[in-house]
């Protein structure tokens, strides 16, 4: 019996153990005292002075945090950080908490309370980023594609910028965290579309584990530094979402240290590709919709044979989401091949096209079956194959020599072969 991360719990799948390879991260123990470790990191950061040294009562502070779709333990990290800031002399009325949505939907007050705690939401200025509000954005030149490089005004105008988040391998930016908290976290929609364009997404270097030389990450890092220095506070997590490492200090140097730490446990080599790969999107909150679930598909894509089968288990409690740019784009084409042709049109630009492009690229070489809470007609309209019973699907496509891999934690593990080294 296999336990797959799914929604708020686990999905039990009865599979024979013959020819099944389970691929998981190398376990990292949680820190024995997370709060004390966080305070120590703020006082002895990487390539930067202690955060407290820059704080005075009159200075304004903008703290960027990740949104509801991310597994960052904001409910621990943010209260501890706020306590540290005020103990260092910051005035509560000068602190803004900015939800780094990127191009995602705004989070509700209830979601903010879930992420940050009700006490924080009641006592601090908590704002959602507005990627399509020109008045909320400031331009810093252009992207390489010519789009305006727009960043949130609250971040830009703050005296002290603090970027929080967590580091994991990312399916086209190399790793999450670091400059990604600014770009796309609090960037304008036009900026994100310019950076996540068809050519950049199609680059061989736009994949898990690669930052330097990745056209997406390189531009993110460039744009994130244009307003001036930002202080990084990123964490690494294990499969129980315990904090295993804290990386504070210089935006790029602290992030690079975190990436090395995460890569050692999260990236796992296998000898040869598999006929069937069963994957997840690490459970809630990462599997709350189909848009996010493309990450788990991408992890499986790295080790599935050409012509093989990917079985994706993602609850998708929020749907695709319904009427999102991602869903509308999928509905606008008959199949993935037509989508890839559409994206190559020089005058075609669409919000969230990058996720649809990656799904289509995977489907150009493998079938994708989806086990979720979505109605089967919704799954088919997204160009995926409904999979109500994972075990039955495996049996229907297996024979005595079928090789099967399972990623119970989805993209928290990034498998690779000699041909997909990142």
Q: Which residues are catalytic?
A: 104, 170
Determine which helix (DSSP H) or strand (DSSP E) holds 218, and give its type and residue range.
helix 215-225
Count CB-CB contacts under 10 A for residue 410. Answer: 28
Cα(420)–Cα(409) distance, integer angstroms: 19
Residue appearing with tokens 């391998």:
169
Cα(374)–Cα(4) distance, integer angstroms: 18
Cα(161)–Cα(283) distance, integer angstroms: 31
- Distances in Å between the Cα of 358 and the Cα atoms of 199, 202, 216 are 12, 8, 14
Nearest to 223 by CA among 165, 181, 174: 181
Q: Which residues have C-beta within 8 Å of that of residue 323, sequence separation ≥ 6?
A: none
Cα(120)–Cα(193) distance, integer angstroms: 32
Cα(74)–Cα(164) distance, integer angstroms: 9
Q: What does the DSSP assignment read for 78-138?
A: HHHHHHHHHHTT--GGGEEEEEE-TTSPPPPHHHHHHHH-HHHHHHSEEEE--TT-GGGEE
Beta strands 231-237 and 243-250, pairing class: antiparallel
Q: Are the C-beta atoms of residues 394 and 278 closer than 8 Å to each other? A: yes
Q: Are the C-beta atoms of residues 259 and 167 closer than 8 Å to each other? A: yes
Q: Are the C-beta atoms of residues 364 and 336 closer than 8 Å to each other? A: yes
Pair of tokens at residue 374: 């979505």
């Amino acid at each position: 019996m296999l336990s797959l991360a799914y929604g708020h719990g686990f999905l039990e799948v009865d599979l024979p153990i013959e020819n099944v390879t389970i691929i998981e991260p190398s376990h990292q123990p949680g820190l024995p005292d997370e709060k004390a470790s966080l305070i120590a990191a703020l006082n002895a950061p990487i390539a930067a002075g202690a955060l407290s040294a820059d704080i005075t009562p009159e200075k304004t502070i903008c703290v960027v945090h990740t949104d509801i779709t991310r597994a960052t333990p904001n409910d621990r990290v943010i209260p501890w950080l706020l306590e540290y800031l005020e103990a260092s002399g910051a005035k509560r009325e000068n602190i803004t908490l900015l939800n780094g949505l990127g191009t995602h939907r705004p989070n509700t007050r209830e979601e903010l309370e879930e992420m940050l705690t009700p006490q924080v939401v009641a006592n601090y200025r908590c704002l959602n980023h507005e990627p399509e509000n020109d008045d909320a954005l400031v331009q810093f030149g252009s992207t390489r594609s010519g789009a305006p490089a727009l960043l949130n005004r609250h971040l830009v105008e703050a005296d002290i910028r603090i970027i929080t988040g967590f580091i994991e391998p990312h399916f086209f930016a190399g790793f999450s965290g670091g400059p990604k908290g600014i770009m796309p976290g609090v960037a304008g929609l036009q900026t994100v579309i310019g950076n996540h364009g068809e050519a950049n997404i199609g680059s061989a270097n736009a994949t898990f584990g690669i930052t330097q030389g990745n056209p997406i990450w390189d531009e993110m890092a460039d744009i994130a530094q244009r307003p001036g220095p930002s202080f990084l506070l990123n964490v690494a997590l294990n499969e129980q979402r315990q904090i295993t490492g804290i990386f504070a200090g210089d935006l790029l140097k602290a992030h690079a240290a975190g990436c090395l730490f995460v890569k050692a446990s999260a990236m796992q080599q296998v000898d040869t590709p598999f006929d069937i790969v069963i994957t997840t999107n690490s459970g809630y909150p990462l599997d709350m919709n189909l848009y996010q679930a493309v990450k788990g598909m991408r992890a499986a894509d790295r080790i599935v044979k050409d012509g093989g089968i990917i079985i994706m288990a993602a609850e998708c409690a929020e749907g695709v989401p319904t009427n999102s740019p991602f869903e509308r784009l999928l509905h606008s084409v008959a199949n993935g091949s037509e989508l890839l042709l559409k994206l190559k049109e020089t005058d075609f630009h669409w919000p969230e096209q990058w996720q649809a492009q990656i799904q289509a690229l995977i489907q150009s070489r493998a079938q994708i079956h989806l086990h979720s809470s979505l109605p089967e007609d919704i799954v088919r309209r997204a160009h995926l194959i409904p999979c109500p019973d994972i075990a039955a699907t495996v049996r229907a496509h297996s024979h005595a020599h079928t090789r099967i891999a399972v990623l119970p934690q989805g993209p928290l593990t990034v498998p690779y072969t000699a041909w997909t080294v990142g």
